[in-house]
Amino acid sequence: MRRTKSTTGNRVIVPLGLAMSMDMAPLLLTNDDGIHSRGIKELAQALHQKGHPIVILAPLREHSASGMKLTLRDDMAFSEHPDIEEDIRVDPSVPLRVFSLDGSPCDCVIVAIDGGLGGLTPEITPRLCISGINRGPNLSVDVLHSGTVSAAREAALYGMPSIASSLATRSHEDYSESVSATVSLVESVCEILQDPLPNLGRPDGTRAKIPEGVSNTSLRDWFLSGNIFLNLNVAENWNGNFQTVSLGARWYHNATDMLEGSATGVAFEVGAAIIVDEDIAETDCKSVNEGFAAVTPLESWPGNHPLGVPREVLRASHIPGNEGLPAWL
């Protein structure tokens, strides 16, 4: 059975005036597959249909596996795409703007949050960043290389709550199930968003108050302050259910090919000839291989950073609720 919105169970009511209406939460969308990818367009259309004001700022071209690459000291072309806006738009009364940047996913997030994009889109002030939907999994060690995950992490570093979303297969480009799963997760997150965001731009740096104790309230604060973000991987054939899990163990063997006959004589191509997932319970690899949508809370900062998440907090953030999503949502 697919997950539906619940008003009971582990949910905590956010005080009136702090929570944003689920239908009104403005969103920032980006990715690493580029502005013309189906994943971001189909997700944007589904979220726009829900009533979310949306601004998209995505790379002009594909930047898969770019990690947290930045474009330094080079101009990056910036363009608006009214044709894509018209393809996505569902309700003319709901704001929607679509832009591309000839830079990396992290470049896009920095420009969107700290580079003056708000001056061009005063009608949209994003309160949540969603990176994706990526074509292909971002499981286990993939999160260190992924431009999709890195863009979500970059937003979190700026204090904006964020989600990375991936269709965990390259065997097809049917995004319908991954769109449904992502929208469901976004709806749950939007129920706890605050306006204004408490830590956007990190005005107090490391002096910002660190949540005390380990409770659903404190875990929610870690997420809302950008110190934890969420990584979603939707199985190739989704069974309609979520699991909150930790990172698994995925190994890439024979990952390079030597090519002869090129202009330089020898060239190498990095790919993945053999992928081995260890069968470890309650991990993203196993969850996706069993047909679930895997939700993995990730720490935004290195563990030894002043804002690093304590291990007991990170472990608690992985405790699932009744519907498979994190209990603190």
Per-domain residue ranges of the chain: 27-248+283-317, 250-278
CB 78 within 8 A of CB 117: no
The Cα-based distances of 127 to 106, 307, 322 in angstroms read: 17, 21, 26
pLDDT tens sequence across 198-210: 999 999 999 888 7
Partners of residue 96 on adjacent β-strands: 54
Model pLDDT for residues 56-75, shown as the tens digit of each residue: 999 999 999 889 999 999 99
Establish whether the linkage from the previous residue to 196 is cis, with ω within 30° of 0.
yes
Q: Which pLDDT score, from 0 to 100, does residue 6 have? A: 34
Quick one: pLDDT at residue 9?
34
User: How do the residues of the chain divide into helix, strand and coil, expressed in percent and rounded to 5?
Assistant: 25, 20, 50
Q: Is the pLDDT of residue 127 over 70?
A: yes
Residue 102: partners with Cβ closer than 8 Å, 6 or more residues away: 59, 60, 61, 76, 77, 78
In CATH, the architecture of 27-248+283-317 is 3-Layer(aba) Sandwich (3.40)
Q: Where are the alpha helices (DSSP H) in 6-141?
A: 38-49, 82-88, 105-114, 117-120
pTM of the model: 0.90
Q: How many residues does the chain have?
A: 329
pLDDT in tens, 206-264: 988 878 889 999 999 999 999 999 999 999 999 999 999 999 998 888 877 777 766 76
pLDDT of residue 231: 98
